[in-house]
Copies of this chain bind each other. A is one copy, B any other.
């Protein structure tokens, strides 16, 4: 195998922004997903992060321009604060690099459109790291939605509730694109819109500003889709007790997934004949048959889906897109749709 062929096969990646996410890409995500990508170097504006990159055995650069000037670099991975994504992405594309960008891709749709125009013009790949499409809990819900073990799903509740506030870095600053809608909301909305794949009919959104940060520390949104699905998406950072990560209601049953550990339950109607009527229970100061536990033969517990992806990992897909001309799993039109929704959400809230 000649050096030329080797270069055609392996893809060299340089990480720009070697902070928490950037180093996680280099140390964990990329090595775990694809041996055809090599993280060769990193650049950061902070000297201590350059030092960390050196300690990780990476080549480091004196400037972003130096990264772009390095001919062996095929992919620039952008993991900087959100307000810098646009300029860095456009410069990298113009320098002939493919670009992987952390989420949220930009702070406004307008910025994304500028990037996409340059990607089109240069013919280079631009892919956004919406990695939570590969979350096992989400994939369980996706399998329920598609295989219908509890019938057609018409209500989806997706919550991520923490109690640590907003992380004490740029994510709590407005000028860097902080706040929970852009940080976690972009994941949950990306999952939802990809799953339901129907135009949005209406939405409500309310933001929380309970912790005194200049950006939202959480939000609640209720979304209805033209296909009849309704959804709650909620993120909180001052929720000391939590609701399940997912609650899903289908025409023939319901399911919940408690947390990242993917524990939960899925129960469906048996539609058995001659089911004995439920016995009234005391409910507060009243009696209820309607809300009493159903008789045992009326329902059955079935195993939750396994949550395996029936599509390749993000970085394997990146390789396929660049080398083999395959379709990206995370399509830019989808990323744009989520960001347009986020734009609208801020607009209706006057933010």
Contact = CB atoms under 8 A, between A and B. Distances in A.
Interface of A: 20, 24, 29, 131-132, 134-138, 154-155, 157, 160-167, 180, 183-184, 202, 204, 206, 208, 210, 220, 222, 224, 230, 232, 236-244, 247, 249, 251, 253-256, 260, 265-269, 278, 281-294, 298-299
A260 B281 contact: yes
A61 to B, nearest CB: 25
A304 B51 CA distance: 51
Given A204-B202, A230-B220, A290 B134 contact: no
Contacts of A20: 287
Given A210-B251, A222-B222, A260-B283, A291 B155 contact: no
Please list the 5 inter-chain residue pairs (A to B) with the smallest Cβ-Cβ separation, ordered nearest first.
A135-B284, A240-B267, A162-B291, A163-B294, A260-B283
Given A136-B284, A184-B290, A289-B167, A240 B253 contact: yes
A241 B246 CA distance: 12
Contacts of A164: 278, 289-292, 294, 298
Given A24-B287, A254-B241, A162 B260 contact: no
A255 B268 CA distance: 29
28 contacts: A131-B285, A131-B286, A134-B285, A135-B283, A135-B284, A154-B208, A160-B291, A162-B288, A162-B291, A163-B294, A164-B289, A164-B290, A164-B298, A166-B290, A167-B289, A167-B290, A202-B204, A204-B204, A206-B224, A220-B230, A238-B254, A238-B269, A240-B268, A240-B299, A241-B247, A241-B254, A241-B267, A260-B282
B206 A230 contact: yes
A173 B294 CA distance: 22
A227 B167 CA distance: 29
A292 B161 CA distance: 9
A294 to B, nearest CB: 5
A222 B157 CA distance: 13
A253 B236 CA distance: 12
Given A162-B290, A163-B294, A260-B283, A243 B241 contact: no
Which of A29, A237, A240 counts the most B-chain CB atoms under 10 A from its CB? A240
A211 to B, nearest CB: 9
Contacts of A247: 241, 243
Contacts of A232: 232
A269 B240 contact: yes
Given A131-B285, A135-B284, A163-B269, 14 more contacts: A134-B284, A135-B285, A137-B284, A155-B220, A163-B254, A163-B299, A164-B278, A164-B298, A236-B249, A240-B299, A241-B255, A243-B244, A243-B247, A260-B282
A168 B143 CA distance: 34
